[in-house]
Amino acid sequence: MEITITTRNQLTLATLVGELDGKTAPTAQERIVPLCQGGSRVLLDMSQVTYMSSAGLRLMLLLYRQATGTGATLALAGLSEDLQDTMSATGFLTYFTLYDTVEAAEAALAQ
């Protein structure tokens, strides 16, 4: 998995590329959890995530808990239909604000 982190307009964008599974989730956790601190606004661009295992779902739950526990805003953009179905079936989808595109998320989170 490749993770690129950029900041623009007081929004931290983490772009994930590849599979989010047992091999890659620990690295993603190390890189993304520290971003979810009090008052921060974090957007995960999931448009290039091709697969998410239970380890990826655990990471999503951890990120949600970290963000809500510290007062950070966390949103997801570009989830594929398969990932949406997986997160919906597990009940995780209700924890997150979803946007179709990064641009739509940036516009909404800028307000």
Q: Which of 57, 107, 53 is nearest to 77 (CA)?
A: 107
Is there a contact between 92 and 79 (Cβ–Cβ < 8 Å)?
no
Per-residue pLDDT, 110: 83
**What's the domain range around 52?**
2-109
Record the pTM: 0.94
Spell out the per-residue pLDDT of the chain, length 111, in tens. 999 999 988 899 999 999 999 999 999 999 999 999 988 999 999 999 999 999 999 999 999 999 999 999 999 999 999 999 999 999 999 999 999 999 999 999 887
Per-residue pLDDT, 84: 95
Per-residue pLDDT, 9: 84
Map residue 52 onto helix, strand or coil: strand
Contacts of 29 (CB under 8 A, 6+ apart): 59, 62
Domain count, the chain: 1
CATH code of the domain covering residue 10: 3.30.750.24
Per-residue pLDDT, 95: 95
* Spatial separation of the C-alpha atoms in residues 62 and 69, rounded to whole Å: 10
What is the pairing mode between strands 11-20 and 97-99?
unpaired
